[in-house]
Amino acid sequence: MLASAQTEFHPSPLTQLSEEEKMFQATVRRFAREQIGPHVREMDEAGVFRKDIIRQFFELGLMGIEIPEEFGGQGGTFFQAVMAVEELSAVDPSAGVIVDVQNTIVNNAILRWANAEQKQRYLPRLAADTVACYALSEAGSGSDAFALATQAQDQGDHFLLNGRKLWITNAGEAGLFLLFANANPSAGYRGITAFLVERDFPGFQVGKKEDKLGIRASSTCELILDNCRVPRENAMGEVGKGYKIAIETLNEGRIAIGSQMIGLARGALDHAIAYAKQRKQFGKTIGEFQGVQFQLAKMATEVEAARLLVYNAARLRDAGQPFVTEAAMAKYFSSEVAEKVASKAIEVMGGVGVTRDYPVEKLYRDAKIGRIYEGTSNMQLLTIAKKLLER
């Protein structure tokens, strides 16, 4: 396996980190390289993420970064969650998305929308040992997220949920599901309601696991709800206001997908640089040829530009400033850059780049999903254009 270099750039004001952030970043980076790195190929080929590594996520506090200390979390920032996703993804984007979904979508939604009893019941578990996932997508509702068909029938002290969810990240490992169903289909999207569904609720089942092109170690499964009985106290937020929860959590999640993509791109660039320093042709290392130098320079520039967009969106979110446009830009651009840089890394490495003995082949496969999940590139462009025209 090729020893990776580490890209270093002079920090801009947006990428400058506090001492606490630097220590956090260094800890996650070291953990990713030492504890995850040796198992990446094995997990990718098996399509299974190691349970012992997930346990270490919890032990390090990476699954409850923003959860307050009173609930057993780290009491950290959204920006720290974004940094964690980036560092993990530079080694394995499958690891990055597990931490991403837990922190930037599920934990954040519960912190903002759950009542006091729900927070007391679930936040300590999410910080300590329970993987969570976000269940919105269905066969007929992808980009048109509010076309979901899963229904919730009000039975007084409980709801009966019926339907199927598809492409649910973390479902294979999850014990808690933030799941959306329509409690009043005649009201359209204004009937959508968020529910906290536990894995052992009667009528709930995790179905088929998808066999994917990339991020193979991250589980993506269908969920089957057959008269799934959910206690009324597990409805999160107001009945019929689940669409607001979905919109706001996805806006934040897109920043973290951006961080997954810049981590991936940085990892691919590092491998390409290391190879260019070692591989010799015509009596020189290929890094001495201007054609290769220019390719590496372009890759590095685009990675840094994507990082600035992602970090800016994350800083805005932590500052309580509007960030929807910036989140869409970060997600759109970073996913484009990740795919391009991973492809260029393969070209720099030549024939070995397409073999599984070297890591860039996997990163190239992993990159494709970035332009699809949590809002396709076209949906991000629509968001950006809409916001521009509203000015």
Task: Determine contact, residues 92/43, Cβ cutoff 8 Å.
Answer: yes
| Single-letter amino acid code for the residue at 115 | N
- Structure tokens given for 57: 């996520």
Determine which helix (DSSP H) or strand (DSSP E) holds 18, and give its type and residue range. Answer: none
Radius of gyration for the chain, computed over Cα atoms and rounded to the nearest angstrom:
21
Active site residue 374: yes
Alpha-carbon gap, residue 86 to 99, rounded angstroms = 10
CA 45 – CA 105 distance, rounded (Å): 28
Measured in Å, how far apart are the chain's first and last C-alpha atoms?
Answer: 51
Phi and psi, residue 239, nearest 5°: -60, 130
Print burial letters for 304-334: b (CB count within 10 Å at least 16), e (below 16): bebbbbbbbbbbbbeeeeebbbbbbbbbbbb
Are the beta carbons of 128 and 57 closer than 8 angstroms? Answer: no
Which of these is catalytic: 173, 361, 374, 390? 374
Q: Are 375 and 254 a contacting pair, CB within 8 Å?
A: yes
Give the Cα separation of 237 and 37 in Å (integer): 40
Instruction: Indicate the pairing of strand 176-182 with strand 132-135.
Output: parallel
Catalytic residues: 374
